Amino acid sequence: MSTLADHIEAYIKQMLRESQTRTVELSRAQLADVFSCVPSQINYVLTTRFTIERGYIVESRRGGGGYIRIGHIHVGDCTAHAFDLLESIGSELTEKQMENILARLVDYQVITNRQRQIIRGIVQQETSSMDEGKDILRAILVRAMLFLTIKSKA
- Segment 54-95, tens digit of pLDDT: 777 787 776 666 678 888 765 555 666 676 777 778 889 999
Query: Which pLDDT does position 77 carry in this prediction?
Result: 57
- Segment 10-34, tens digit of pLDDT: 999 999 889 888 889 888 888 999 9
Higher local confidence (pLDDT), 143 or 75: 143
The rounded percent of the chain whose pLDDT value lies above 90 is 30
Residue 154 has pLDDT above 60, yes or no: no
Angle, helices 134-153 vs 113-127, to 10°: value is 150
Report whether 79 contacts 153 (CB < 8 A): yes
Query: Which pLDDT does position 122 carry in this prediction?
Result: 94
Query: Which pLDDT does position 74 carry in this prediction?
Result: 59
Torsion 25-12-3-125 (CA) sign = negative
In this prediction, residues 95-106 reach a mean pLDDT of 88
The pTM for the full model equals 0.55
Domains, the chain, ranges and CATH?
4-72 (3.30.56.130), 78-153 (1.10.1200)
